[in-house]
Amino acid sequence: MSLWQLIIVGLAGVAAGAINAVVGSGTLVTFPTLVAFGMPAVNATMSNAVGLVAGGVSGTWGYRNELAGQWSQLRWQIPASFVGALVGCWLLLHLPESVFERIVPVLLVVALTLVVAQPGIQRWAAKRSGVDTVEDFDGTRLTVSRVSILAVATFAVGVYGGYFTAAQGILLIAAMGVIVPGDLQRMNAAKNLLALIVNVVAAVTYTIVAFDRIDWAVAGLIAVGSLFGGMIGARYGRRLTPGVLRAAIVVVGLIGLWRLLTT
């Protein structure tokens, strides 16, 4: 890559880190950038996954206060994300690229629809469960069936994230918003942690089994950029109201969908 292309990759890393901390789907900035500069899709996915780990760390740390009190559900989601990521990595290494890419736009449309419908779904879930407000939901009140569905959904998103990574944050927020109604900022914190786990698993796996397919200069630039981007996103994203955050999710998701369909 030329110097100006490397500079753009670094800036894309900053944008991806900030977007991942606030919304998710920052990969939809870095991945198309790498592909546009001539990097093979699988190599771009691997290099991107390695680079975005740093941004995931800073974004998760920035939202650490919102993680308090969520262990009762995260203890099921964390292993589900871990195993799902392993499966997704295996798929990337063994299946043709075209197989999963065909379903990505469909998954993104479904996720955005769920995010938009989330307030109504939360009200319905709260009424059905007999609580006065959505905020009455607490991890300690999760039923066995709700936990099971949450774990399965988290596993499925983990598979998706281990394979393609793009928009896994949106899918996680959409799933949690339907299954475990609650504060959007707290869900965003859980999303950051779970997405980080998937990225770490993917990065370690690709490093072990496909070291020579990773562009380490590109991965390093994305890492530095996303580290600062994650700090910026966590600092300002925590100040957004649920309505603004939901709007940001939809806008970024639609842009990402357009990029996926036109790249």
**Helical H runs in 23-143?**
27-36, 41-62, 71-94, 97-101, 104-129
The pLDDT value given to residue 133: 44
Angle at 22 between CA 238 and CA 152, to 5 degrees: 110
- pLDDT higher than 50, residue 140: no
User: What was the pLDDT predicted at 137?
Assistant: 43
How would residue 132 be classed by pLDDT, with cut points 50, 70 and 90? very low
Q: Which of 206, 241, 255 is nearest to 16 (CA)?
A: 255
Query: Above 70 in pLDDT, residue 236?
Result: yes
Q: Give the C-alpha distances (Å, rounded to integers) separating 75 from 85, 161, 190, 195.
A: 16, 19, 11, 15
| Residue 54, C-beta contacts closer than 8 angstroms, at least 6 positions apart | 17, 223, 224, 226, 227, 230
Model pLDDT, residue 260: 67
Q: Is 228 exposed, middle or buried (0-12, 13-18, 19+ CB in 10 A)?
A: middle
Backbone phi, psi, residue 229, to 5°: -60, -40
Question: What stretch of H or E contains 38?
Answer: none
**Percent over 90 (pLDDT), the chain:** 32
In the structure, how many helices (H) and strands (E) does the chain have? 11, 0
Instruction: Express each pLDDT in 216-226 by its tens digit.
Output: 999 999 999 99
pTM for the predicted model, two decimal places: 0.80
| Cβ neighbours of 103 (radius 10 Å) | 11
The rounded Cα 242 to chain-centroid distance in angstroms is 18
User: Which positions ≥6 away from 115 have C-beta within 8 Å?
Assistant: 170, 173, 174, 177, 246, 249, 250, 253
Residue 99 pLDDT class (50, 70, 90 cuts) = confident
pLDDT of residue 7: 92
Q: Establish how many alpha carbons lie within 13 A of residue 130's alpha carbon, considering only the half-sphere containing its beta carbon.
A: 1
Q: Is a pLDDT exceeding 80 seen at residue 168?
A: yes
Instruction: Please say whether the beta carbons of 42 and 213 come within 8 A.
Output: yes
- Say what the pLDDT of residue 146 is: 81
Task: State yes or no: pLDDT of 136 exceeds 60.
Answer: no
